[in-house]
Amino acid sequence: METSVLVQNGAAVLRGEAKAVPKELFGTKELSKILTSMTTALDTEPDGVALAAPQIGIPYRIFIVRYDRTLQTKRNESGALKPVPETKPDIGIYINPKFVRRSRRKAEMEEGCLSVRGFYGKTKRHERATVHAYDENGKKFERGGGGILAQIFQHETDHLNGVLFIDHATDVVEVEKNEAGRYERPQR
């Protein structure tokens, strides 16, 4: 069941509702191994900012975020995204997350997914979102954010509920890898 290979659209694990991580799993080597597998899988995808456990075939309510990769990028004169300088990974772990607040206002956002490679579309997401979750040791915390962080919370929670962004996206387009081997969001 545990792997670092990203599963793609069509895999049953992406369409099922993930189960809660039981209390007895917190602080164990088994949970640590799952988190390591998730981090390894995300590290192999330089354009990935977050990953849910079902995306590597593990049906638990866990997602991780690479905060260091959520930094804004700018386009160069030819329109290509300039790469963000690689920094030390800054990873947030969210186990058994639940929304406690979401803004009423929604914004249309560009979105893609590591498990639906090569496709991008427009989604409507709450502009701000706050979740309660647990860390790997079972300590409860709350984290809120706007913009890309709010989008990540919603996208990854969708994964935990068996929903893919393409289920509600509009203007979905297929894109090719660029010269650097990355899928790049289309310019619109």
Query: Which member of 156, 174, 179, 184 is catalytic?
Result: 156
- Asked if 108 is an active-site residue, the reply is no
What's the start-to-end Cα distance of the chain, in Å? 39
Q: Would you say 2 and 150 are in contact if contact means Cβ atoms under 8 Å apart?
A: no
In whole angstroms, give the CA distance from residue 92 to residue 22.
19
Give all strands of the β-sheet with 106-112 in edge-to-edge order: 106-112, 119-126, 170-174
In whole angstroms, give the CA distance from residue 159 to residue 66.
17
By C-alpha distance, which of 105, 99, 111 is closest to 143?
Answer: 99
How many CA within 13 A on the CB side of residue 55?
A: 28
Catalytic residues, by residue number, are 156
